[in-house]
Structure 1
Amino acid sequence: MTLRARLEGLLTAAVAAGVTPSASCAVWRDGAGGAAVVVGDAVRFGPNGRELEPAERTPAHSGTRYDLASVTKVVTAVTALTLVRDGLLALDVSVAEWLPAYRSDDKRAVTLRHLLSHTAGLPPTWGGWKRPPPGGRPGLVADLLGTRLVSAPGTAFGYSCVGYNTVMALAEAVTGQSWADLVVGRVLGAGSGLGFHPDVGDCAATEYQPELGRGMVRGIVHDESAWSLGGVAGNAGLFGTAEALLAFGERMRAGLPGVLAAELEQELWTDQLPRLLPPGVTGAGYGQGLGLRIGQQPWMGRPEARGHNGFTGTSLLMDRERGLSIVLLTNRVHPSRSHSDVVGLRAAVSNAVYDAG
């Protein structure tokens, strides 16, 4: 059985079992990549949350754009490092240099390296979107930057969307440019197939959220904090096709030529935790580079793999030693975030690619 046939079988079985309404998988291996394997429905449930008749559904295809969720953090990290490259930021200087909100005693020790490695001491999430302060997006960002630490910087690993949105705010403060312009202009480029505001008709639907007045969410970021910030954020917000994300993954695996010098680029791939945390303190059972997770089990399949997954059911995996990249995109939160878990599918896909030889 060919790898493509094996992947199609795995995706078809997952859709049939109700793991996700749709899935799109693209792989680069042995120096070549094929077209994405796509199965299922981009839209299976209607505006009222009810399941549509088969003829009313929107099938997924290779051009379907998925909400990448926290896979966005990888692009955020690269964007931040371009500012380090240009001397606008520094990895190991207190961000208080640029952010007045960080000039209190407990926050003064926070650096960009802390933020990008989840060791700044910030909580996982920010609840300010639930009680929007006055002032629109600037008011929301100010509230976000006022988030209190839950541990001293550099003393513990704590995965934090707040940290990555702080990176966004830091970048905007330093450059005076919007986050969307920074990400597209410095890293993605126009026409990359990855971006923040896709055409709704091109997108897979995610969750039904009538309690937030959102109805069936489609083409608008699922993550509520990113949504409150206008859909453009450091923790989430990017949409893309499997093939477009694979192309970005291959750029990263090749060392981001023309974007970052080798020494700075290597920080993405290097486990930061032994350097930052006290002796004997560990992370979450996997290594953490700047943006990239290292050997996260079980879904990555191999300890040398790097990548990131996303809450909506997305993932990007890259392995320099084996010369491969794997993208799996799903809308497993359609119509509910409690609908399913795709860890098993991610693992099965990764193992199939590795076992192909």
Structure 2
Amino acid sequence: MTTDSSLAIGISDVEAAAARIKGHAVHTPLLNNARLDERLGAKVFLKAENLQHIGAFKFRGAYNTLAALDPDVRARGVVAWSSGNHAQAVAYAAALFGTKAVIVMPADAPQAKIENTKRLGAEVRLYDRWTESREGIGLAIAEERGCVVVPPYDHPHVIAGQGTTGLEMIEQAAELSTTFDDVLVPASGGGLVAGVSTAFAGKSPGTKVWGVEPQDFNDTGRSFESGRLETVDPDARSICDALLTQTPGKLTFPINRRNLAGMLAVTDDEALTAVAFTFNALKLVVEPGGSVGLAALLAGKLDVAGKTVGVVLSGGNIDAPMLARALDQNR
């Protein structure tokens, strides 16, 4: 688990991001639960990024990216595309800096995410995720208005900002006089897991970091096997709306291929089981995409008996009907 100059970021970039976001991002708790430990036969710590600003880790990368911009450039406004969590993060970060944000969002995103993005002051442009290109729409808006593009994952400052999640986990574990044997991180375009794995490669190289994807959106896992960027079947669907990227990022993939121990995949029902478990056992609200790391553990996808394990709960922006579905299926 090493990094080199051919990769988009290194540990120094994550440390610089931590300095930029300090006092602005929530230093989220690292939680342990006796019931979970007993069930898995391991010591499990959950990084509760569902308690981050806007309910997801995405604020870290968004704020770091805007903070790194020249003030004159930032004042022209920003544009981003996202299914919801990055949308809200960019909207909130832009509001904190007093600049305008335009967010391109799929029309079928959870209504709560769309409404909250608007509430945070952003202009929302809806699109059909199956027939339109969000990147094309966003780039056209940026050119027309002179805005700066803040990509959801494939950007050095975004990746480094997300990596502060891992840096905090390492520091929090040290305060408890422990280190992680394994860490599981949700993966979509790969920004979060690339940043987290960079932090661990630099500060805790003995820890194995695993990415976790929805079963039908396992583009990174298949890309690892083939050695080239694979895409998702256009007919694939998943309730993990935060993890529906079609292909790994060009910057994130080399980092993840270098740093990760491997990729795991979970079904929608396994994700719902994890949503219900966090609600019932930990009194936490986590969205399906944010729960896939825990879902992999609960489903036995990784042998962690006797180990110390970290899991990133990456977001908690779930609609009430989806939460009710998870609880109903797991009574």
What is the TM-score with the length of structure 2 in the denominator? 0.30
Looking at CA atoms only, which structure, 1 or 2, has the larger radius of gyration? 1
**Structure with the largest fraction of helix:** 2
TM-score when normalising by structure 1? 0.28
